[in-house]
């Protein structure tokens, strides 16, 4: 009987540790390849996925990130999901996570590690020159909207989100 109790305590501790790791992982970037990225944003459901491609070294990207975070809060009661896709190298994952944490960004975040950008940029959108920031909107597995360049204000982003709901 003692070994059963010990096993249950041990199992409970492991389960709680895994839950804690998962909760902490939600606020940090996960490295995705192109197929995993596509699976994440092209889901066949009524959620509007607003996907912002950015990097910590990109001043216009960093300037507009608060607009996306505010959108996540503004549309939290609706089927809108904001996703940050960092163009920082996967070797900079720690720095990306520190940046997100320092700025209290809680939106889902990934680092895209898809190899040669000259190949995968066209797979994401043939209109994309590779310039960041860049934003895509997906719903029901379909790309609805492409925007290359930064947003001048939260109001501009909010208006586009409303038009796609």
pLDDT in tens, 36-60: 999 999 999 999 999 999 999 999 9
Over 50: is that where the pLDDT of 155 sits? yes
Q: Which residues pair with 136 in a beta bridge?
A: 51, 146
pLDDT at 125: 94
Residue with tokens 């596509």: 38
User: 14-23, pLDDT tens digit by residue?
Assistant: 333 333 333 3
Over 80: is that where the pLDDT of 10 sits? no
pLDDT at 160: 97
Q: Hey, what domains does the chain have and what are their CATH numbers?
A: 28-164 (3.40.30.10)
Closest CA to 61 of 135, 9, 129: 135
User: 88-108, pLDDT tens digit by residue?
Assistant: 988 889 999 999 999 999 999
What is the chain's mean pLDDT, rounded? 85
pTM reported for the whole predicted model: 0.81
Q: What DSSP character marks residue 83?
A: E
Q: What percent of the chain is predicted at pLDDT more than 90? A: 71
d(CA 162, CA 149): 19
- List of residues 6+ apart from 37 with CB closer than 8 A: 85, 110, 112, 114, 124
Residue 130, phi-psi category: left (phi > 0), alpha (psi -120 to 50), beta (remainder): left
Average pLDDT over residues 127-146: 96
Residue with tokens 């996306």: 68
């Amino acid at each position: 009987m003692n070994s059963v109790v010990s096993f249950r305590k041990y199992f409970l501790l492991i389960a709680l540790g895994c839950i804690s790791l998962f909760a902490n992982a939600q606020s940090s970037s996960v490295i995705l390849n192109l197929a995993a990225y596509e699976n994440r944003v092209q889901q066949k459901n009524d959620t509007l996925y607003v996907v912002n491609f950015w990097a910590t070294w990109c001043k216009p990207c960093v300037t507009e990130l608060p607009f996306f975070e505010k959108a996540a809060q503004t549309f939290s009661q609706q089927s809108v999901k904001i996703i940050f896709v960092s163009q920082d190298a996967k070797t900079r994952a720690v720095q990306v996570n520190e940046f997100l944490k320092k700025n209290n960004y809680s939106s889902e975040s990934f680092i895209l590690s898809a190899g040669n950008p000259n190949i995968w940029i066209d797979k994401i959108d043939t209109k994309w020159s590779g310039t960041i920031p860049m934003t895509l909107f997906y719903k029901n597995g379909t790309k609805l909207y492409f925007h290359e360049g930064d947003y001048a204000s939260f109001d501009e982003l909010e208006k586009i989100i409303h038009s796609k709901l």
